[in-house]
Amino acid sequence: MAFTLYSLLQAALLCVNAVAVLHEERFLNKIGWGTDQSVGGFGEEPGIKSQLVNLIRSVRMVMRLPLIEMATRRALKAVLIDLSGTLHIEDTAISGAQEALQKLRSAPVAVKFVTNTTKECKQTLFERLQKLDFDIQEDEIFTSLTAARNLVEQMQVRPLLLVDDSALKDFEGINRSDPNAVVVGLAPQHFNYNTMNKAFRLISDGAPLIAIHKARYYKKLDGLSLGPGPFITGLEYATDVKATVVGKPEKPFFLEALQSIGCQPEEAVMIGDDARDDVGGAQNAGMLGILVKTGKYQPGDGDKTSPPPYLICNAFPQAVDHILQLLL
Ligand X SMILES: *[C@@H]1O[C@H](CO)[C@@H](O)[C@H](O)[C@H]1NC(C)=O
User: Where does this chain bind ligand X (CB under 6 A)?
Assistant: 116, 158, 175, 177-178, 213-215, 218, 245, 247-248, 250, 277
Q: Measured between alpha carbons, how far is 124 from 61 in angstroms, rounded to an integer?
A: 54
Which is nearer to ligand X, 45 or 172 (by Cβ)? 172
User: Residue 318 Cβ, how far from ligand X at the closest point, in Å?
Assistant: 22
User: Residue 283 Cβ, how far from ligand X at the closest point, in Å?
Assistant: 16
8 A C-beta contact, residue 46 and residue 242: no
User: Residue 114 Cβ, how far from ligand X at the closest point, in Å?
Assistant: 11
Q: Which residues pair with 218 in a beta bridge?
A: 225
User: Residue 162 Cβ, how far from ligand X at the closest point, in Å?
Assistant: 16
Q: For residue 41, give the amino acid letter.
A: G
Alpha helices in the chain (DSSP H): 2-22, 48-74, 97-105, 122-131, 144-155, 193-204, 229-239, 251-259, 281-284, 316-322
Q: Measured between alpha carbons, how far is 258 from 192 in angstroms, rounded to an integer?
A: 37
Q: For residue 18, give the amino acid letter.
A: A
Which is nearer to ligand X, 233 or 318 (by Cβ)? 233
Which is nearer to ligand X, 82 or 140 (by Cβ)? 82
User: Residue 105 Cβ, how far from ligand X at the closest point, in Å?
Assistant: 26
Spatial CA neighbour of 21 closest among 74, 61, 73:
61
Q: Measured between alpha carbons, how far is 266 from 197 in angstroms, rounded to an integer?
A: 44
Which is nearer to ligand X, 117 or 239 (by Cβ)? 117
User: Residue 216 Cβ, how far from ligand X at the closest point, in Å?
Assistant: 7
The residue with its CB nearest to ligand X is 213
User: Residue 306 Cβ, how far from ligand X at the closest point, in Å?
Assistant: 17
DSSP string covering 41-90: -TTPPP-HHHHHHHHHHHHHHHHHHHHHHHHHHHS--EEEEE-BTTTEET
Q: Does residue 66 have a cis bond before it (omega within 30 degrees)?
A: no
User: Residue 286 Cβ, how far from ligand X at the closest point, in Å?
Assistant: 18
Which is nearer to ligand X, 140 or 277 (by Cβ)? 277
How much of the chain is helix, strand and coil, in % rounded to 5?
A: 50, 15, 35
Helix-helix angle 144-155:251-259, to 10 degrees: 80
Which is nearer to ligand X, 163 or 215 (by Cβ)? 215
User: Residue 110 Cβ, how far from ligand X at the closest point, in Å?
Assistant: 23
Q: Which residues pair with 115 in a beta bridge?
A: 143
Q: Measured between alpha carbons, how far is 328 from 322 in angstroms, rounded to an integer?
A: 9
